Amino acid sequence: MRGIKVSPGIAIGQAYLLQKELKIEKTTAKDPKNELARLDKAISESEVQLKRVRERVAKETGEGAATIFDAHIMMLNDPEFIPEIQSHIKDEGVTAEYAVQETVNKYQGIFSDMQNEYLKERADDVKDVGNRVVSNLRGQIHDLSELPSGTILIASELSPSDTAQMDKSRIEAFLTDQGGKTSHTAIIARTLEIPAIVGMGNVTSQIKDGDMVIVDANQGEAFVNPDNDLLNDYMKKREDYNNFRRRLKSLNTLPAVTSDGRKVELESNIGKPKDVDAALANGAEGVGLYRTEFLYMDRNNLPTEEVQFEAYKKAVTSMGSRRVTIRTLDIGGDKEIAYLGLDKELNPFLGWRAIRFCLDNPDIFKTQLRAILRASAYGKVSIMYPMISDVNEVRRANKYLDEAKNELMQQGIPYDLDIEVGIMVEIPSAALTADILAKEVDFFSIGTNDLAQYTLAVDRGNQRVKSYYNYFQPGVLRLIKNCIKEAHKNGIYTAMCGEMAGDPEATKILLGLGLDVFSMSASSIPLVKDVIRNTTIEEAKKAAEKALAYK
Q: What pLDDT, on the 0 to 100 scale, is given for residue 348?
A: 77
Residue 151 burial (CB count, 10 A) = 21
Q: What pLDDT, on the 0 to 100 scale, is given for residue 53?
A: 79
Q: Of the candidates 282, 486, 510, 265, which has an alpha carbon nearest to the alpha carbon of residue 382? A: 265
DSSP designation for 352: S
Query: What's at 170, amino acid-wise?
Result: R
Query: With 0-12 CB in 10 A as exposed, 13-18 as middle and 19+ as buried, what is 540?
Result: buried
pLDDT tens over the chain, length 551 residues = 999 988 899 999 999 998 766 568 888 888 999 999 999 999 999 998 888 878 876 776 566 556 777 888 888 988 888 999 999 999 999 999 999 999 998 888 887 777 655 556 567 678 878 888 988 898 876 667 778 899 999 998 876 557 666 778 899 999 999 887 766 677 778 777 899 999 898 899 999 999 999 999 999 999 999 999 999 999 999 999 999 888 888 888 899 999 999 999 999 999 889 889 989 999 999 999 999 988 887 677 899 999 999 999 999 999 999 999 999 999 876 666 767 877 777 787 888 889 999 999 999 999 999 999 999 999 999 999 999 999 999 999 999 999 999 999 999 999 999 999 999 999 999 999 999 999 999 999 999 999 999 999 998 777 788 788 899 999 999 999 999 999 999 999 999 998 899 999 999 999 999 999 999 989 899 999 999 999 999 999 999 999 999 86
Q: What pLDDT, on the 0 to 100 scale, is given for residue 465?
A: 85
Query: With 0-12 CB in 10 A as exposed, 13-18 as middle and 19+ as buried, what is 95?
Result: buried
**What is the distance between the alpha carbons of residues 248 and 242, in angstroms, rounded to a whole number?**
10
**DSSP one-letter string for 74-100:** HHHT-TTHHHHHHHHHHHH-B-HHHHH
Cα 358 to Cα 64, 396, 425, 447, 498, distances in angstroms: 20, 10, 17, 19, 21
Cα 129 to Cα 49, 50, 191, 206, distances in angstroms: 11, 10, 27, 26
Distance, C-alpha 278 to centroid of its chain: 15
**10 by DSSP, 3-state: which?**
strand
Q: Which long-range contacts (CB under 8 A, 24 or more apart) does 237-245 make?
A: 237/10, 238/10, 238/11, 238/12, 241/9, 241/10, 245/9, 245/526
Residue 534 burial (CB count, 10 A) = 11
The vertex-367 CA angle with 365 and 368, nearest 5°, equals 65
Q: Which residues contact 208 (CB under 8 A, 6 or more apart)?
A: 15, 17
Q: What pLDDT, on the 0 to 100 scale, is given for residue 70?
A: 82
Task: Confirm if 534 and 254 have CB atoms less than 8 A apart.
Answer: no
**What is the distance between the alpha carbons of residues 205 and 220, in angstroms, rounded to a whole number?**
18
Q: What pLDDT, on the 0 to 100 scale, is given for residue 160?
A: 54
Q: Which residues contact 214 (CB under 8 A, 6 or more apart)?
A: 10, 11, 12, 222, 223, 226, 230, 231, 234
Q: What does residue 471 show for φ and ψ, rounded to 5 degrees? A: -75, 0
Residue 298 burial (CB count, 10 A) = 20
Q: What pLDDT, on the 0 to 100 scale, is given for residue 230?
A: 96
Query: With 0-12 CB in 10 A as exposed, 13-18 as middle and 19+ as buried, what is 428?
Result: middle
Catalytic residues: 184, 497
